[in-house]
Structures are given as C-alpha cells and as structure tokens.
A and B are shown apart, each in its own frame.
Chain A
C-alpha cells in the first residue's frame, strides 16, 4: 500500500512563528501536493511539485513556501504564521507515469495559530 505520512496530526503555533510541515511518501511518486481544507471551502491547492527541486504555485500560495530536496519528501513552510492559516493541511502524492489523477493523501495536520 502507498503510504503518505505527515509529521504531526495536531500542531499549535503562535502568530509570527516559522512553521514546517513535513510530508513523506514511500512509493517513489514523482508528483506531490499540498492542500488546505477549510469548512465550506473544500480543499484548495497551495503548491505542488512535479519532481525533485521543482515547484509550482497552486491557487492560494500566498504566505507559504515549499521545499522538495528529495523525491520522497515535500515540505510546506509558513514563513510567519498568521491566525488565518489555522486549517487542516493535507499532503498528497501521485505516480506521474500512469497519467491518471489518482492521488494518495496523508492523514492531515490540523494547525492552530494563536
């Protein structure tokens, strides 16, 4: 089974802190994604990466950056956390070669910014 793990299930940070959310997948997938999920807004794409050292902005990249130094790891960085970044963060990966949009999701990190 494909496994996508995220570093924390729950995280509480203070406004202005730098926050790192880590995502690791064990199936050698090229593509990785970061979404956030908020009530009434569904899942929204923050950033995605087609492969190592590649990154593309999604629909809501403001206030976030990402890092993909190794194929299995995709990190989401909140440079200076704000209360409006309180959300559920979901990481996903996808095997590029099969050409289908079958994404495998991690369990999510619920981040609270105080």
Chain B
C-alpha cells in the first residue's frame, strides 16, 4: 500500500469546517483513499472512501485532486465530539490490513 503524509495536529473552532489534508503521491491506479478516525479509548471508525471522484456522506466530504496525489477530508460543521485522530489510508480492493500511520490529531474547541 502507498504511504500517506498528514499534518501531526490541527485545531478547529466548533461549528466551523475542518479541512484535513493528506498527501499520497505514490498512489497507484487501483488504490482507494480511505479515511478513518479514532476517538480516545475507542476503536477506529470508518468515515468515507473514494477512488477519483469527490464523495459525500452524512459524516464528511472527500475531495480528491485530479492527479489523485492528495485529498482533503472536510467535516462541514465540526463539533466537540469530532475531536479525534484522523487517519488517511490508501488501500486496494483486495487489501487485507489497513496500514494506519500516525494520523492527524484534530482538536475542536468551543
């Protein structure tokens, strides 16, 4: 699986949009971009994934650049409960393990 690079930490004010970037410059054509988050003392939670088109679900939006070398996860209206470590992972459909890097620690404050 390709390697990803994320900022170590980010801050966001409650109610504002949180934009979390991820670089995956060595992604190959059959690899998807997945986002998970881990709230303190809980297991990771799937958020969203995409191949090349932008995706949106009830939790977040995923914007993937045209060259697929980077992406941005958008939480449109961050709440205190969104404080967590966010992981950007690249994986193909046949992949087994998810390779979690260090992720971005997002702190949402009031």
A-B interaction: yes
- A residues in contact (CB < 8 Å) with B: 4, 31, 33, 35, 42-43, 45, 48, 56, 58-59, 90-92, 99-108
On B, residues with C-beta under 8 Å from A are: 32, 34, 41-46, 49, 89, 91-93, 95-102
From A42, A56, A99, A102, B46 is in contact (CB under 8 Å) with: A102
A41 to chain B, nearest CB (A): 10
Assuming the contacts A101-B32, A101-B34, A102-B49, asked whether A4 and B93 have C-beta atoms less than 8 A apart, the reply is no
Most-contacted residue by chain A among B95, B96, B99 (CB, 10 A): B96
Which of A42, A45, A104, A105 is B101 in contact with, Cβ under 8 Å?
A42
Which residue of chain B has its CB nearest to the CB of A90?
Answer: B43
- The interface residues of chain B lying within 8 Å CB-to-CB of A59 are 97
**A91: B residues at CB distance < 8 A:** 43
- Give chain B nearest CB distance to A109 CB in angstroms: 10
> Could you tell me the dominant secondary structure of chain A's interface residues?
strand
Contact B44–A90 (Cβ < 8 Å): yes
Residues from chain A with Cβ under 8 Å of B45 in the complex: 105
Contacts of B46 in A (CB 8 A): 102-104
Contact call B93/A100, Cβ cutoff below 8 A = yes
A100-B49, A101-B34, A101-B91 given; A58·B97 CB < 8 A: yes
Instruction: Using CB atoms, name the residue of chain B closest to A94.
Output: B96
> Considering the chains assembled together, what is the distance between the CA atoms of A108 and B39 in angstroms?
12
